Amino acid sequence: MYRQALLSGLVTPSEVVAWADRQILGLDLLPDALMDVSLSGSNTNKLITALGELGPRKLSKTAFRLYATHLLALLRSDSVHLSLITSALYRLA
What percent of the chain stands above pLDDT 90? 18
Residue 3's contacts (CB-CB under 8 Å, 6 or more residues apart) are 48, 51, 52, 54, 57
Which residue type sits at 15? E
Q: How confident is the model at residue 20 (pLDDT cuts 50, 70, 90)?
A: very high
Whether 52 shows a pLDDT value over 70: the answer reads yes
pTM: 0.64
Average pLDDT, the chain: 83
Going from N- to C-terminal start, the domains of the chain cover: 2-92
Tens digit of each residue's pLDDT (9 = 90 or more) over 32-46? 989 999 999 888 888
Please say whether the dihedral angle defined by the alpha carbons of residues 50, 52, 54 and 59, taken in this order, is positive or negative: positive
Residue 72 CA to residue 81 CA, distance in Å, equals 10
pLDDT at 18 over 80: yes
